[in-house]
Copies of this chain bind each other. A is one copy, B any other.
């Protein structure tokens, strides 16, 4: 009997088999039976069903171990698709990813900074319909939509508990309304969780690994996600791993969250840009412009990119600002590792941009030097395999995983007519 973790769906045996075939790329029935601890007849039945549903296909033969050569199984990537949407204040990225997690098409809309959900969601639905219509994707093969945005969230009901992207979104039934518009199951999650599971699904992560993700977006926020044995760590209400609100200074400035000395006040793109603005020589030299900014926290990525590009090119002032941000993030990575005991940490999101290698090397060195249990095993710090679309791709992966590997009890937003 599967053991469901708090806040997550329980994996079915069929789902675990599919996940193992996906992760292995190619695998024989014998290896699959051994990996899952199942009998040969049980595996034969499960694989037959997966073949009939078209999720899996047979592909050539592997080396024999004495008897006849073994037929290998692999996932059929074009059999199912997931839509992933990463909705932010400044931008909204839509991807359609296949069953292997690979994006097959992509669109970008302006963000929702000044738009209420009643206007934004229909616009988004139209764009998704147009995107699907313009590609070769069979609409009946789309299993659902993963909508990735700000937290905290009421994960089960698909409602935001934060006044972001703007206060009109607070308490609005985002997932339910979106499900009505696209006629697909919809789940709501946050950027770092999505980026974390995307890393797993694309096949670069071992099935038993425990790892974390640090997500640096375009504005103030710094997100975190942890994946344990192929599943996002959820905790009580799926609002876990809020690393942007780790207090790094017990006597620090108050944060809007109620805490003091929060990481994202010192280390995020907004914090770096604001420091650069007050460094007059740097601001002038790089053409940074504090004027006309959205006071609610707009897109700092343009100025942040100028700073990280200058840092990477050797500008010592720019470099010292980025290095300070990286050391703070390194400290948070140490806390994350001290609490979750991670095998590795993925750096994801557009915020790392052109300074990814500076961030990677400083965070790695902080973890090497400061992690409590470093005698037990090393912790690697690695860039995301999914680039700056990691959160949107992860949204697609989350819905593929929920619909095919870890089905859950129906929620109000879930059970709508499939889109055909």
Contact = CB atoms under 8 A, between A and B. Distances in A.
Interface of A: 1-7, 10-11, 13, 16, 36-38, 151-154, 161-162, 208-210, 224, 228-229, 233-243, 245-251, 257-260, 266, 328, 331, 334-336, 338-343, 369-377
A245 B238 CA distance: 25
B335 A258 contact: no
Contact of A229 (B4, B372, B373): B4
B152 A340 contact: no
19 contacts: A1-B13, A1-B16, A2-B2, A3-B10, A6-B209, A151-B373, A152-B376, A161-B376, A240-B339, A240-B341, A241-B338, A242-B339, A247-B331, A247-B370, A250-B331, A257-B370, A259-B334, A259-B370, A259-B372
A236 B250 contact: no
Number of chain copies forming the complex:
2
Contacts of A335: 246-247, 335, 339
Contacts of A152: 372-373, 375-376
Contacts of A340: 233, 235, 240, 339
Given A5-B228, A250-B266, A335-B339, 15 more contacts: A3-B3, A3-B16, A154-B376, A161-B376, A162-B375, A209-B236, A210-B235, A235-B341, A239-B373, A239-B376, A242-B338, A242-B339, A247-B334, A250-B331, A335-B335
Contacts of A369: 258
Contacts of A239: 341, 372-373, 376
Contact of A249 (B250, B372, B377): B250
